[in-house]
Structure 1
Amino acid sequence: MELILAAAIGVLGGCGIWLMLRPRTFQVIMGISLMSYAVNLFIFAMGRLSVDQLPILRPGRINEVAEYADPLPQALVLTAIVIGFAMTALFLVVLLASRGLSGTDHVDGREGE
Structure 2
Amino acid sequence: MKDLTLDEEKVEWVKPDNYKPDPTARRTGAAPEDSVAQVILKTVSEAKESTSNDLVSKKTLTTRALLQNALDGLKGAIMIAYPEGLPEYDPVRQILDDTEVLEGAVGGRMCTIT
Q: TM-score, normalised by structure 1?
A: 0.30
Q: Give the number of the structure whose residues are more often helix, by fraction.
A: 1
Larger RCO (alpha carbons 8 Å, 6+ apart): 1
Q: TM-score, normalised by structure 2?
A: 0.30
